[in-house]
Structure 1
Amino acid sequence: MQSRRDQVQAQSHLLGRLTAALVAGEPDGLETPHRRTTVGLLAGVLVAALVVGGFTLYGFFAPGGATAWRKAGSLVVEKETGSRYLYLDGRLRPVLNYASARLLLGEELAVVTVSAKSLRGVAHGQPLGIVGAPDVLPTGGLAGARWTACAPSATDLAGTETTALTLAVAPAVDGTPLAADRAVLVRPTADPTAGYLIWNGHRFRLTAPWLPAVLGHDGPPVSVPAAWLDLIPAGADLGPVAVPGRGAAGPMVDGQPTRIGQLFTARPADGAERHYLLRRDGLARLTPLAYALLAADPATVAGYGGRAVVPTVLSPAALARLPLVARPPLAGELPAVAPTAAVRPAGLTWCLRFGADGRPQVVAARPVPAAGIVRGGVGVTRTAHTADAVAVAPGRGGLVVAGRAGQPGTGYHLVTDAGVKYPLAGAAVAERLGYPPAVATVVAPELIDLLPTGPALDPARVVG
């Protein structure tokens, strides 16, 4: 009786004969059909290992001899140290940064990595480049980037308040816009006696110390840097209403003598109470704001003998007889009603968010955290208008031109994600750096001035 081992051996023998018949056409051959293939494979692997080992030993002991880098337009990077050179006039000239290399060679620049052995024996020359020029040219662009300037403040243990100006470019700074009927009373840190009312995207200078109380802004003003305040377009001065000839005798009204500068009130047929100012050329209708300014004006109070200013009631007949002055006593850009004082939420600060049209929108927002801010650098200069700290989204940056939306700009700058602007000598320089002038983003000049300034990028400055 056959055992299980005999059966397995018989099956293996049968499969071997079938394989030999298919591969070699001879089922009872003396050699295994796979033997030749196996021997050939092992021999090939052995030969390949010997060849690779030989080349490895040759490359290890033989000196480097690469010479492809010896051509104009090559930025040679030494593999072992990372040192960078420009091969010029048969010499290796160390280059300080990538921007300097692009300024010198333009788009012809080709980066070549070479071993130190291949550079052995080549003469070296003096370094080339502009100190402080960028080593990375950003490609993220600034098209559609939102610029936000904030004015955070802090009070130390001694009670001294300090303010700062921070600028965020491209990072999303969420905030609550200032409502149309709200305003913010601010004062520049450098001049605590001055006051400004921020409303409707403009700043209105207050020309009298009693104005905040009359406007309903009796709380302490917000201290802001003067550079932040200068970013807001200036509106008309907000102060006492000028009344030429104040105190002079006026016409008889309802059988009573009057004086220029006197205030009147009347109720026309619509039933709404209205206030008027008597001027030399007639009655001027007053907005609620204009009436409040006139009633609180010390000059008006003096005209009433120091007593409370109470407007005289006009009869319909007197209102119909007196001429109405078309020109309003206040500038048209001033509000008709004093805007309500805005309340800043805790932990937030007042910021200016600039849109594509370059106009600021006042928002209450949280400033960019200090961890996301890059300050200064080698060769970077600052002015009185430079922001204390600048944050640019990583990888963002590019070519900008100073100007307004819809208008041709002048003056090109390269802005990097380090928060620094680099003046360019012209449009041709932008081309050499890889930025066609047509792709430049138009940015308001006052925003560009907030960025610290790096060295001017000019090919003439690369070769010293």
Structure 2
Amino acid sequence: MQTKKDHVHAYQTLVGRMSAGLLLGDTNYSEAPARRALMGLVYGVVLALLVGVGFWVYGLINPGGNMAWKKPNTILVEKESGARFVYDRGLLFPVVNHASAMLLKGAGATVETISRASLSGLERGAPIGILGAPDPVPSANALVTTPWLLCLPHTGGGQPPGQGLMSLNANPDASSTPLDEREYMWVGSTDGHQYLVWSGLKLRLASPAVAVALGLGTSSPPSAPPAWLAALPDGPEIGPASIEGRGTVQVAGSARQVGTVFRQAAGNGTENFVVLRPDGLAPMSRTEAALLTTAQGESAADIDAATMASMPRSADTSLTSRIPDLLTAKSMPIGERAYCLRQELFGSSVVSIPVTTERNFAWFGMNEQVGAYLKPGTGLLAASAPAPTGAGAKPDRFLITDRGFKYRLADDEAIKALGFGGAAPRPMAAEVLAQIPSGPVLSRAAVGPVERGRG
């Protein structure tokens, strides 16, 4: 009588013969299909586990087996401390910072992390490098290519030290708002002159009395350093017009001096201004009238429409457009938002656009020098502008880091060694660069004592 065990064996035999028939075309094949592949997989997994365990045991017994220090053109970073080394001619040299290591090894150097144990048996050389060089060095894809802001921190409120400070903010996240076409900034220079920044130009005021005539009062405006003012092209000087000619002219039966300003009230509530010239009445803007009457120390004389219509008209209409009609515009208030220039690159030229920004984007705790702020991990590759014009001459190039310092790059070789060979420097005014705190010059020759190009 058959048992359950016999039934199971019979079932397995039947299934095996059916599988063999389907896969191999032979129902009498004595070995299970794919058995060899399955056993090979099992043996492979077991062998891999044994090899892995072997390496693990070896690592426990001899943890310093990494031989990365033997690779040419390699910067070694100790895993436990972050210290940097280079291996040269049988000696392991500590390097004071990452910029020095990159300059020493040159373009194409690779960075390898290695354990302290792997370096323990190597003979050490003296520390090498350039003290104060950047550490770390921003990567080429972290270089800023967007516009930056040159700001006057004290215009944004608070109490920053110094009244002639300027900050440079190259953080792409720093927002700014351009001035409206009827807005201007009122600033002073360090040599006592006053300016209006209007429509992308700086307009010098001929005297402090001009500020009074424009309704700006008698107080002093915030001071802007020369580098900030130099970024703006000059516009016309703002001052009272010079009226040529002398003598008197009869106006409504009365003798009036040439140069007298008249005001005619129009029916729509506006006012028209004219000035008396030897050949008749000449139209003028409201701003020209205010400047001239302030200089003369008298108010404009009233004239009615009939008298104005009966008087001859001068052919000179220059006082309607000689200077902007600033009394129809307004000065940006001090203390609400900081005055800035957004510097953008158009072709090979840098254009400065007057803008305002929040105070925290303009002041970040700098001293009497320019405070430079970049987003952590980024940098700015700048070229001094204007560039020299001689054949083959190149401008001075600088790396500005997120520490707020600039480092002059000695030559193309240094630029390539730091990984910036394919990056285009951004033109920046020499006056601005001169005020940013400086670090050491970066060159391969300055690293020492290992000779350039070795390793």
Q: Do both proteins adopt the same fold according to a TM-score greater than 0.5, normalized to the shorter chain?
A: yes
Matched with 1:125 is: 125
Name which of 313, 333, 338 aligns with 2:327. 338
1:463 aligns with 2:448: yes
Residue pair 1:185, 1:341 contacting (<8 A) in 2 also: no
Distance 1:253 1:120 in 2: 104
Give the letter for the 2:14 counterpart: L
Matched with 2:453 is: none
Matched with 1:96 is: 96
Shift of 1:362: 2.9
Change beyond 3 A, Cα 1:394–1:10: farther
Shift of 1:90: 2.3
Give the % identical residues. Answer: 29
Shift of 1:60: 3.4
SS at match of 1:429: helix
Distance 1:315 1:58 in 2: 107
Change beyond 3 A, Cα 1:49–1:176: closer
The correspondence of residues 176-215 of structure 1 with structure 2, limited to 5 A, is 176-187=177-188, 195-215=194-214
TM-score with structure 1 setting the length: 0.71
Change beyond 3 A, Cα 1:116–1:177: closer
Change beyond 3 A, Cα 1:141–1:284: farther
Give the letter for the 1:132 counterpart: G
Distance 2:114 2:144 in 1: 38
Shift of 1:293: 0.8
Give the letter for the 2:179 counterpart: L
Distance 2:142 2:122 in 1: 40
SS at match of 2:77: strand
Give the letter for the 2:185 counterpart: V
Give the letter for the 2:12 counterpart: G
1:413 aligns with 2:404: no
The correspondence of residues 41-190 of structure 1 with structure 2, limited to 5 A, is 49-62=49-62, 64=64, 69-70=69-70, 72-134=72-134, 135-140=136-141, 142=143, 144-150=145-151, 151=153, 152-155=155-158, 165-187=166-188
SS at match of 1:459: coil
SS at match of 1:338: helix
Change beyond 3 A, Cα 1:335–1:28: closer
Matched with 1:217 is: 216
Matched with 1:239 is: 239
Q: Which moved more, 1:87-96 or 1:393-402?
A: 393-402
Residue pair 2:93, 2:127 contacting (<8 A) in 1 also: yes
Residue pair 1:183, 1:340 contacting (<8 A) in 2 also: yes
Give the letter for the 2:205 counterpart: L
Residue pair 2:79, 2:116 contacting (<8 A) in 1 also: yes
Distance 2:262 2:36 in 1: 121
Residue pair 1:142, 1:441 contacting (<8 A) in 2 also: no
Matched with 2:301 is: 310
Change beyond 3 A, Cα 1:198–1:430: same
Give the letter for the 1:84 counterpart: R
Give the letter for the 1:250 counterpart: G
Matched with 1:422 is: 407
1:399 aligns with 2:388: no
Give the letter for the 1:361 counterpart: I
SS at match of 2:107: helix
Shift of 1:19: 3.6
Give the letter for the 1:351 counterpart: C
Residues 124-176 of structure 1: per-residue CA shift (max 9 Å, x gap): 112111122122233235564121233354457xxx99796443214233344
Residue pair 2:257, 2:276 contacting (<8 A) in 1 also: no
Matched with 1:289 is: 287
Shift of 1:412: 0.9
Shift of 1:397: 2.7
